[in-house]
Amino acid sequence: MSFAAAAGPERRMLDLGLVDRLARLQLLARRHGLRLRLAAPPARLAELIELVGLTEVLVEPRRQPEEREERLRVEEERELGDPPVH
């Protein structure tokens, strides 16, 4: 099974061989204490990755804008000590 996708002036094949190579790169990265994650793979590549069950391993989860906004508005609670003496 293979899919062709336009990638600029060249065409690249999106097939299970590419998914296999990405999985092998991820394993190599893990052995060196790193990780390989695809932030926004093309839809057809994402479908193939999902087909073989590697979505959680290879694809970065999409975050909702609301989650990021909530994280930025975190307020810390703290107790105020004695006021400074002048």
Q: What is the largest CA-CA distance in the chain?
A: 77
pLDDT in tens, 1-30: 333 444 443 346 788 999 999 999 999 999
Other residues' Cβ atoms within 10 Å of the Cβ of residue 29: 13
Q: What pLDDT shows up at residue 85?
A: 73
- Does position 57 have pLDDT exceeding 80, yes or no? yes
Contact between residue 2 and residue 15 where contact means Cβ atoms under 8 Å apart? yes
Which is more confidently placed, 71 or 19?
19
Give, rounded to a whole angstrom, the gap between the first and last alpha carbons of the chain: 77
Q: What pLDDT shows up at residue 50?
A: 94
Which residues neighbour 78 within 8 Å (Cβ) at sequence distance 6 or greater? none
